[in-house]
Amino acid sequence: MGNTAARDGGVQSVDRAISVLEILARRGEAGVSEVAAEIDVHKSTAFRLLGALEGRGLVEQAEDRGKYRLGFGLIPLAGAVSDRLDVTRQGRAVCSRLASEMGETINLAVLQEHWAVNVDQALGPSTVSTHNWIGRLTPLHCTSSGKILLAHLPAEHRTALLTASGMERLTPRTATIDALESELAKVRASGYAVALEEYETGLNAVAAPVHDRSGNVIAALSVSGPAYRLDEDRLATLTAPLVRGAAEISRRMGWYAA
């Protein structure tokens, strides 16, 4: 009972804190009394909320006016979202060009919880579209894009995501945890990841990392197609241009490799 009350109280505090940020975003500046009135709490509660947000740099006090406004601590948070949106825009021309040159499906995927979600797709001129991958959540452990995203996470974060995913064995070729960890080390060293009929029987793919301006891997660029057409030999010929395409998107995002 006590734990439930504490949890509910914590959720209410988070909800109120978000409301405070929304108020300041809408009004530009607001005092403690104004914030308290808008979220219907006592002034002391509003003061504590503003103090906690100020401590994290999410709000700041305007000099000599006793009012609060949004703080610069929000910029890194907004930037993280902006980069995820921007990578789609920056990658679109590269995806289209690669699809045209390779004649296969090109996808751009980002991390969402313990999934890879495809945010853009381009089809080659002769590709018969059997899959619309945009918005589709795919497993991290058995897709080329997922392996790229996993490989560049801190080990503790990676373990948590794999545990949450359950690592379902979808085909006879889906990797076990021990084999996957060994493979991810090779992915980091080589700069690309391959999935050979691990997610779907008859589907092969290769992916490469896309970096943001700080060098963090924020997306994976992949080419995929039927195994009879994209066998290991053909995938090998597509890997280098795919890696170059991912590097081009990274440059557009502001990253330059040393």
pLDDT bracket for residue 78 (50, 70, 90): low
Confidence at residue 127, expressed as pLDDT on a 0 to 100 scale: 64
Confidence at residue 187, expressed as pLDDT on a 0 to 100 scale: 98
Q: Are 228 and 201 in contact (CB under 8 A)?
A: no
Task: Work out how many domains the chain is built from and give that number.
Answer: 2
We report the CATH number of the domain holding residue 31 as: 1.10.10.10
Beta bridge partners of residue 203, listed in sequence order:
226
| Alpha-carbon torsion angle 17, 112, 193, 218, nearest 10 | -40
Residue 238 predicted with pLDDT over 90: yes
Q: Is residue 22 one of the residues assigned to a domain? A: yes
Query: How confident is the model over 118-165, as pLDDT tens digits?
Result: 989 998 876 665 567 788 889 999 999 999 999 999 999 999 999 999
Joined together, the tokens standing for residue 205 give 């793919």
Confidence at residue 129, expressed as pLDDT on a 0 to 100 scale: 54
Q: Are 140 and 165 in contact (CB under 8 A)?
A: yes
Average pLDDT over residues 232-255: 95
Q: Where are the alpha helices (DSSP H) in the chain?
A: 2-27, 32-39, 43-55, 74-102, 144-151, 155-165, 177-190, 232-252
Q: Average pLDDT over the chain, rounded to whole?
A: 89
Residues 163 and 40 both lie in one domain: no
Average pLDDT over residues 201-230: 95
Average pLDDT over residues 217-221: 96
Spatial distance between the Cα atoms of 50 and 46, rounded to a whole number of angstroms = 6
Confidence at residue 128, expressed as pLDDT on a 0 to 100 scale: 60
Spatial distance between the Cα atoms of 220 and 211, rounded to a whole number of angstroms = 9
Residues 59 and 101 both lie in one domain: no
- In terms of residue numbers, what domain contains 45? 12-76
Confidence at residue 73, expressed as pLDDT on a 0 to 100 scale: 82
Residue 82 predicted with pLDDT over 60: no
Joined together, the tokens standing for residue 23 give 């108020």
Residues 16 and 112 both lie in one domain: no
Spatial distance between the Cα atoms of 70 and 77, rounded to a whole number of angstroms = 13
Residues 91 and 60 both lie in one domain: no
Domain-ending residue, one of 48, 76, 104: 76
What DSSP line would sit under 101-164, residue for residue?
HH-SEEEEEEEETTEEEEEEEE--TT-------TT-EEESTTSHHHHHHHHTS-HHHHHHHHHH
